[in-house]
Chains A and B, each alone.
Chain A
Amino acid sequence: MQEMMKKKAIELLQSGEVARVLGWKKGEFDYDITPAVFESAEEIENEFIYNSLCSPNLSKYLVKESRKEGKTLIFLKPCDSYSLSQLITEHRVIRENVYAVGIECYGKTDADTIKEKGIKGITKITENDGVLNIETLYGTEKIPVYEVLRERCVNCKSKKHPVYDELIGEEGETVDDCERFDEVAKIEAMTPEERFAFFRNELSRCIRCNACRNVCPACTCEKCVFDNDASGIAQKAASDSFEENMFHIIRAFHVAGRCTDCGECSRVCPQNIPLHLLNRKFIKDINELYGNYQAGENIGNRSPLTDYTQSDAEPNIVYERGGKDNA
């Protein structure tokens, strides 16, 4: 796979079809892969990498890159392709300046997920036939990739690419029996007290580093309301329970109907807050109340929050459904 991608990238760079290539670059330890812009065949030969550790979603970088002279080649995993499609819909990425190459993906892992298994002091990771061979300061471990997949990959929603110019590998299908809403449903079934306690525990860890927002392909505002002193709600403090609630509710609301559920927010959170649950809650509600809707599925789709029907549910549906009552 990696070799085919390198070949394609070099071919298109050399033919002048594209001016640069967005891909992943090797790091210090095999796992610390960085998104990178490659401008020469040499760089690609030496530094380009693609494997089960290439987690970052590159699509957001196109907001900047697609405004540069010449085309940008981007490699897209299926979920990244949804993000790109949504970005094109919102005119944030200039489609004509993008050469999108869809690549197949069987799920990604990363250092955090591996380390959660108690594997520490990693010095080398190699991958063979879906099994990771991990050398550490304290011994060698073998672990199949599927055992260390991130949640978003375990509950992969689709292996399809809504937008691409070319595919490397097989085009997949949407995953119909995806269980991504199970966790949301589980929380919905709790009592309000339990839900409050659950989210207090999660959100109180927030350090307002803004990584979730800054990595989010739906959060591409030129200036975020929370950074804009003139908005009246700019905030930096992470002192009080309210600030985190406000930030995360409003952020989830702003991306509601636009979030493609790529899961980057939860991946980057240094405090392991399952932020995707908020976005998924909105997606689940939208599906249940307004019909199934997958942001990014088609370019030009109208987000459910900029749409309506006369017979939409009234908000009191919230009072009537879900959750246990106060016992």
Chain B
Amino acid sequence: MQMVNKEFKPKIVAFCCNWCSYAGADLAGTNRLQYPAEVKIIRVPCSCRVNPMFILRAFQRGADGVIICGCHPGDCHYTTGNYYARRRMTLLFSMLDFLGIEKERTRLEWVSAAEGQKFASTMNDFVKTVTELGENKRLEDLRCKK
């Protein structure tokens, strides 16, 4: 276990589906639920729009954690998108783990439009986990360091 660096602020990219999770994030905002500013949201139509390339790209460019949020299974605006996302992300995360990349750096969560609270607590928890892990060293691209 490495020492938690107090100064270390992780970079977190959150892909949120437009219909549930992005709305859930909006609700978290409306309800003034705090979560760390390290989280930056990218709006996508559906969790199934998230290409593994985007996730690796984020790590390459210096992200320390990537989280994908979508509608709960069965509630996808497009009926089936999150089911495909679930398989893709499960396999991708498993592969990253296989390559020895800290599995805690990637996460998939289901957040509905009504779950502002869950969105905030998920982000708080994720930021905490990634902060404890420290900087992403295993998937970084040195050329992208400042």
Question: A interface vs B, CB < 8 Å?
Answer: 184, 187-188, 190, 192-200, 225, 233, 239-243, 245-246, 249-250, 252-253, 256, 278, 281-282, 285-286, 289-290, 304-310, 312-319, 322-323, 326
Verify A312–B95 contact, CB threshold 8 A: no
Contact of A242 among B73, B93, B106, B141 (CB under 8 A): B141
Verify B100–A199 contact, CB threshold 8 A: yes
B26 interface residue per 8 A CB criterion: no
Give the B interface residue count (CB, 8 A): 39
- Residues in chain A near residue B97, CB distance under 8 A: 192, 195, 318, 322-323
Given contacts A250-B52, A305-B91, contact A193 B100 (CB under 8 A): yes
Question: B interface vs A, CB < 8 Å?
Answer: 1, 52-53, 56-57, 60, 73-74, 80, 83-84, 86-104, 106-108, 138-143
Verify A312–B90 contact, CB threshold 8 A: yes
A-B contact pairs, 20 of them (CB 8 A): A192-B97, A192-B100, A195-B100, A196-B100, A196-B101, A198-B100, A225-B53, A242-B140, A245-B56, A246-B56, A250-B56, A290-B87, A304-B87, A305-B84, A309-B83, A310-B73, A313-B90, A314-B86, A318-B90, A319-B103
Given contacts A246-B60, A310-B83, contact A187 B95 (CB under 8 A): no
Given contacts A304-B87, A312-B83, contact A240 B139 (CB under 8 A): no
Once the chains are docked, how many angstroms separate the CA of A318 from the CA of B92? 10
Q: Which 8 A-B pairs have the closest CB atoms?
A: A196-B100, A195-B100, A308-B83, A242-B141, A315-B90, A315-B108, A318-B93, A192-B100
Identify the closest chain A residue to B97 (Cβ): A318
- Residues in chain B near residue A289, CB distance under 8 A: 90-91
